[in-house]
Amino acid sequence: DAKTTQPPSMDCAEGRAANLPCNHSTISGNEYVYWYRQIHSQGPQYIIHGLKNNETNEMASLIITEDRKSSTLILPHATLRDTAVYYCIVRVALDTGRRALTFGSGTRLQVQP
Amino acid sequence: DAGVTQSPTHLIKTRGQQVTLRCSPKSGHDTVSWYQQALGQGPQFIFQYYEEEERQRGNFPDRFSGHQFPNYSSELNVNALLLGDSALYLCASSLEGREKAFFGQGTRLTVV
């Protein structure tokens, strides 16, 4: 799986959009970008994944650059409950059952009131 | 749907002892993975079970072993506990061929 680089920490004001960047310059053509988050003392939670098109679900939006070397997870209206560590993971999608998730250090997002 | 459940939630053991952690996967899921998360770090993959067999393994010693039962539930066993085994142990379940993994709340193991 390709290596990812994320800033160690970020702050965001409550109600504003949180934009979390991830660099994955060595991504291969068949690798997807996944995002998970981990709220304090809980297990990681799946957020979203994508290949090359932008994706949106009820939790977040994922913007992937045209060259696929970087991506941004967007939480459109951050709340205090979004305070968590966010992990960007690159992997081949459909073998989730055959290969482990490789977590880095992630970005610690602190949403400020 | 109860999701992924792990037991116990907290555990204190003495160096040299053995411990067994348990995981019940999300309903309908057939694959269980175990992760170790030390304080301040991301989860590290231990191993994965599918069809009652260990399918892949991370960089962990043989002191770490596991089992999957016919109902897909799983156990993680750690022998000869070391202080460095103190961590949050996470279980994740998924369905063969599907993209998402679902994690339990974890078991906090403290070795003294």
pLDDT digits (tens, 9 = 90+) for A94-105: 555 566 788 999
Hey, are the CB atoms on B102 and A46 less than 8 Å from each other? yes
Q: A93–B99: do the CB atoms touch at under 8 Å?
A: yes
Residue B95: the pLDDT is: 83
Over the stretch A63-81, which tens digit does the pLDDT of each residue have?
999 999 999 999 999 999 9
- pLDDT of B54-112, one tens digit each? 988 999 999 999 999 999 999 999 999 999 999 999 999 988 767 788 999 999 999 99
Query: Is B105–A106 a contact, with Cβ atoms under 8 angstroms apart?
Result: no
Are the beta carbons of A32 and B90 separated by less than 8 Å?
Answer: no
Average pLDDT of span A12-19: 97
pLDDT above 80 (res B51): yes
Q: Hunting for tokens 């116990």 — which residue is that? A: B8
Best B100, B102, B109 member to test A by mutation, with max A CBs in 10 Å, is: B100
* pLDDT at res. A56: 97
Q: What is the DSSP letter of B99?
A: S
Q: What pLDDT does B14 receive?
A: 98
**DSSP assignment string, B29-73:** --EEEEEEE-TTS--EEEEEEETTEEEEE-S--TTEEEEE-TTS-
Determine the residue of chain B that is closest to A32 in CA distance. Answer: B99
Mutation target among A55, A103, A108 for the B interface, most CBs of B within 10 A: A103
pLDDT of residue B91: 97
Is the separation of the CB atoms in A89 and A4 below 8 Å?
yes
Mean local confidence (pLDDT), B19-38: 95
Per-residue HEC secondary structure of chain A comes to CCCCECCCEEEEECCCCEEEEEECCCCCCCEEEEEEEECCCCCCEEEEEECCCCEECCCCEEEECCCCCEEEEEECCCCHHHCEEEEEEEEEHHHCCCCCCCCCCCEEEEEEC
Do B106 and A43 count as a contact with CB atoms less than 8 A apart? yes
Instruction: Please give the pLDDT value at position A98.
Output: 60
| Distance (Å, whole) CA B106 – CA B75 | 13
